[in-house]
Amino acid sequence: MKYEYLLFNAIVIAGPVVSHFSQQIRNLSDLRLKLLTNGIVLIPYIIWDVLVTGIHWHFNDAYICSFRLLGLPIEECFFFITVPFGCLLVWETLPNTGLIKMKFLRYLRPVLYSTLPIGIWVFSTGMQYTGLVLCSIGIVGLVDTILGIDLLLRLKTYLYLAIIFGLIVVFNGYLTARPVVLYGETYQVGFRIWTIPVEDFGYGFTLMLFNAILYEKLKAATNEK
Average pLDDT, 10 consecutive residues per value, the chain (225 residues):
89 87 75 92 96 95 90 94 93 81 72 94 97 97 92 89 95 93 93 94 97 94 75
112: closest CA among 156, 155, 168, 153? Answer: 153
- Report the alpha-carbon distance of residue 77 to residue 172 in Å, rounded: 15
- The predicted pLDDT at position 132 comes to 98
94: closest CA among 150, 40, 157? Answer: 157
Given a contact cutoff of 8 angstroms between Cβ atoms, the answer to whether 21 and 31 are in contact is no
Alpha helices, DSSP H only, in 53-197?
74-93, 108-124, 128-147, 155-167, 173-177
- The predicted pLDDT at position 103 comes to 63
- Report the alpha-carbon distance of residue 224 to residue 168 in Å, rounded: 35
pTM recorded for the entire structure: 0.91
- Report the alpha-carbon distance of residue 152 to residue 146 in Å, rounded: 12
194: closest CA among 169, 163, 157? Answer: 169
131: closest CA among 207, 198, 191, 187? Answer: 187
Residue 74 lies in domain: 4-224
- Sign for the pseudo-dihedral over CA of 127, 206, 65, 179: positive
Domain count, the chain: 1
Say which residues have a Cβ less than 8 Å from residue 147's Cβ, sequence separation at least 6: 213, 214, 217
- Report the alpha-carbon distance of residue 108 to residue 152 in Å, rounded: 8
- The predicted pLDDT at position 66 comes to 85
- Report the alpha-carbon distance of residue 184 to residue 197 in Å, rounded: 11
User: For 197, which DSSP code?
Assistant: E
